[in-house]
Amino acid sequence: MGDDFNRPIERGTLPDTLTLLDLGLKFNQVLEPHSLPSSIQVLKLGLDYNRPILPNVIPSGVKGFKLSDYFDQSIQVGTLPSTITHFYFGDNAGSLPQNLKHLVFGSHFDQPIANVIPDSTTHITFGYYFNRHLYPYDIPESVLSITFSHNFNQSLPLNTIPSKVTEIKFGSNFNQVLIPNSLPNTLESLCFGELFNQQLHAGQLPNSITSLTFGSNFDQTLHPSVLPASLKTLVFGNNFNSPLKKGSLPMGLVQLSFGTNFNQPIRQGVLPESLERILFGDGFNQKIDGILPESLTQLSFGFDFNQPIARLPNKLVSISFGGSFIKTIPSGVLCPSITSLIVSPQFFDFNPLESLPITVTNILVSLQIDYVNIRRFSANETLALTSRFIGGFVNTSKLKRLLLQEEDSNNPYEYFDNSNTNYDCDDY
């Protein structure tokens, strides 16, 4: 239905093969019992809908049901069919179906939830304005995943988070001290929002977490053994710029990502030997000789990095340099395992394309508003294409001139125009 639709629906009007019905933004008519076909599996009532839901209105086969954030009617027991597994509703919970699996509260919902959520529920998402204190066992033990949205900023007493939860995501405003043992030992993924900036202590984070993400504001010292030994993926936000000590990072860590502001010297032994991927933010510009683990396969530097490189790990497969990198890489430093590079056009002023090992077969050149993807087939044969697949086959010497022209051009397509290249770049 269109967003302007607002007419009564009589029984038999809609085809009995209909499986999804979206009644649009302005629909606000009383739905009579049995007026909707039994074939419907997904039913969406729009922004203006605010009528009582009568028994036998919602077809018995509906699995997904959505109400507006502004729906403000009580829902009686037995009104919603037990087949519903995915439910999105607004300000008032009413009576929820007992087979519910996925529950999404509307953005304006901010009510107590004691005895509201069915024991069958496995995934809960709270809305934007929800900021109620949660009491022990308000959330049933069946829940595995919880997402708190923007406004939530309440402490979490013991037994508030169910013992089987594997995933928690906090919204922007959450900035509470974590009570020891308040997070269950089943937790695998934890994501903090923008404002979280609490000092962490040993025992606050369960030793089951494998993925941990901090928001923009987090900038606390991480003392040794504070982060769980189970951690595999760690993401810092843009403001993090605290020095890292040996033992700050768990020895089993596999992926590490820094935000924009991190620019601290890293001593040898700080980065675990288990690391496979490291992403430095745009502000990082510190020496790296002797600090990179041999296990590393992917390495990415941000815009500011411009340090000499004397050696790289032997297992490295891909490396990315930002726009400020204008150092010559000595012969032999790019080991045979490296097949992919991401660079700026200036990179080739100090590292000519023909000087790169033939094992480097994929090169992505970042331009002002686009990129050129270079595929090397031999020392002198390449295929160069922009993101719009403009380009073609070109030899190394012509490609070098093309990139130098591109560096000074305000139009990244001027030298990669199909009409000029005809896919062979002969005009260059």
What does the pLDDT profile of the chain (428 residues) look like in tens digits?
A: 677 888 888 888 899 999 999 988 888 888 889 989 999 999 988 788 888 888 888 998 888 888 876 776 666 666 788 788 887 765 555 567 778 888 888 787 888 888 888 899 999 999 898 999 999 999 999 999 999 999 999 999 999 999 999 999 999 999 999 999 999 999 999 999 999 999 999 999 999 999 999 999 999 999 999 999 999 999 999 999 999 999 999 999 999 999 999 999 999 999 999 999 999 999 999 999 999 999 999 999 999 999 999 999 999 999 999 999 999 999 999 999 999 999 998 999 999 888 899 999 999 998 877 788 999 888 788 888 887 777 888 887 777 777 766 555 545 455 555 434 443 433 33
The tokens describing 121, both together, are: 């529920």
* 398 and 373 share one domain: yes
CB burial of 326-358 (b: ≥16 within 10 Å; e: otherwise) equals eeebeeeebeeebeebbbbbbbbeebebeebbe
Residue 179 lies in a domain: no
Residue 256 lies in a domain: yes
Check residue 258 and give its pLDDT.
98
Check residue 411 and give its pLDDT.
52
Is the backbone of residue 269 left (phi > 0), alpha (psi -120 to 50) or beta?
left
What residue numbers bound the domain in which 345 lies? Answer: 339-409
- Given 296, 328, 360, which residue is the final one in a domain? 328
Closest CA to 109 of 87, 85, 82: 87
DSSP 88-149: EE-S------TT--EEEE-TT-----TTTS-TT--EEE--TT--PPPPTTSS-TT--EEE--
User: Measured between alpha carbons, how far is residue 60 from residues 22, 40, 55, 103, 349 in Å?
Assistant: 17, 9, 11, 19, 69
- Given 309, 328, 347, which residue is the final one in a domain? 328
- Given 306, 328, 350, which residue is the final one in a domain? 328
Question: Who's near 215: CB < 8 A, 6+ residues apart?
Answer: 172, 192, 193, 194, 195, 196, 237
* 198 and 321 share one domain: yes
Strand pairing class (362-366; 391-395): unpaired
User: Measured between alpha carbons, how far is residue 328 from residues 309, 317, 332, 351, 372 in Å?
Assistant: 8, 19, 12, 6, 21
* 281 and 316 share one domain: yes
* 323 and 381 share one domain: no
* 343 and 288 share one domain: no
Number of structural domains found in the chain: 2
φ and ψ of 423, to 5 deg: 65, 15
Check residue 90 and give its pLDDT.
58
Residue 197 lies in a domain: yes
Check residue 425 and give its pLDDT.
38
DSSP 264-293: ----TTSS-TT--EEE--TT-----TTTS-
* 271 and 203 share one domain: yes
Task: Name residue 392's beta-bridge partners.
Answer: 384
Check residue 341 and give its pLDDT.
96
What DSSP state is assigned to residue 178?
A: P
Residue 86 lies in a domain: no
Q: For the full predicted model, state whether its pTM sits above 0.85.
A: no
Check residue 412 and give its pLDDT.
47
* 222 and 324 share one domain: yes
CA-based max dimension of the chain: 79
Separation CA 342–CA 382 (nearest Å): 16
The tokens describing 302, both together, are: 């941000």
Check residue 229 and give its pLDDT.
96
The tokens describing 298, both together, are: 């992917």
